[in-house]
Amino acid sequence: MIYYLYRKDEDTALKLTEFEKSMLKGEMGEGVRAAMEIVVQLGELYGAERLLPISCAHIDAAAYTTVWEAGSDFVEFLADHGARVAVPTTINPVSRDIRNWKALGVSEAFAEKSRRLEDAYLRMGVIPTWTCAPYQDGSVPGFGETVGWSESNAVNYVNSAIGAKSERLPDLADVCCAIVGRVPEYGAYLEKNRGGDLLFSLQGFDDTWFSDSMDYALLGYYVGEAAGSRVPVVEGLPETAGPDDVKAFSAAAASGGAVCKFHLVGITPGDDTVPRAFGEKPIPAPIAVRPE
């Protein structure tokens, strides 16, 4: 099986380097060519002008129940045709307990489908972290680094709590970006899109609040639902917030809305003041958030 989308050469509106063109022409194998073609088409879809090298990747499309048979076939095609990840790449949980699936009543047929997908990723050199929080399992990029991450909470966290740069890459496109070591320059990869859009001001909270991560999760869900895909800025949280508190806020904001970048004033890197959190964007009237 050979996957073609709409081209078989390097003709593209993106400004590609000679190395990137060689991948698109198939000079590094059919698996790399197919991955590069999808990355290029993703870039054209979003109006990107170029591709950016990444330092690491995180794949969401790990579970058979996420990508099903068609997605599994595609991942196996990439592995069978020589594709290997170009950067350190972590991965989300799978659809079975790898060691104890029999004891948990999982069928042989389902376990085999999951195993095939797991095996394809391992053959491509993916690190078998099997977690949606790779930042707590050793994959911690530096501030300002460009990465190719998927998984909503992980993208939100790496953008906001760490200060690296990623978009919410689509499932299977994340695999392709890991293989070619490139992402299209669009969305949250552009500095102009990373400043705040909304300002949430906490009012009336005493010291009994935000003593554990549950309060951060509740606030995150509220902010995420209100923000949608916009970038929220929150002022008034205690500066003693720890990594698990920020993780709780991050995961809930990504679930309540489609947030992939937020600013917690005095907590997240580079956000020591409200003006710095907004960057060149105008600061809007604050939205009051009260205990009730």
Q: Domain-by-domain residue ranges, the chain?
A: 18-191, 195-289
pLDDT at 257: 93
Q: Is the pLDDT of residue 253 over 70?
A: yes
pLDDT at 11: 64
pLDDT at 239: 87
pLDDT at 3: 46
Do residues 109 and 203 lie in contact, with contact meaning Cβ atoms separated by under 8 Å? no
Q: For residues 15-23, give the mean pLDDT.
A: 96
- Read off the pLDDT band of 9 (50, 70, 90): low
DSSP 26: T
Q: For residues 216-224, give the mean pLDDT.
A: 97
Tokens of 285: 């009237």
pLDDT for 76-110, tens place per residue?
999 999 999 999 999 999 999 999 999 999 999 99
- Read off the pLDDT band of 13 (50, 70, 90): confident
Cα torsion through 243, 248, 252, 253, rounded to 10: -30
pLDDT for 38-74, tens place per residue?
999 999 999 999 999 999 999 999 999 999 999 999 9
User: What one-character-per-residue DSSP string does 203-219 give?
Assistant: -S--TTTTSSHHHHHHH
Q: Is the pLDDT of residue 194 over 70?
A: yes
pLDDT at 42: 96
Q: Is the pLDDT of residue 200 over 70?
A: yes
pLDDT at 6: 46
Class of domain 18-191: alpha beta
pLDDT for 104-160, tens place per residue?
999 999 999 999 999 999 999 999 999 999 998 888 999 999 999 999 999 999 999
Q: Is 186 exposed, middle or buried (0-12, 13-18, 19+ CB in 10 A)?
A: middle
Cα dihedral sign, 176-182-186-189? positive
Angle between helix axes 173-180 and 30-45 (nearest 10 degrees) is 120
Q: Is the pLDDT of residue 10 over 70?
A: no
pTM of the shown model: 0.92
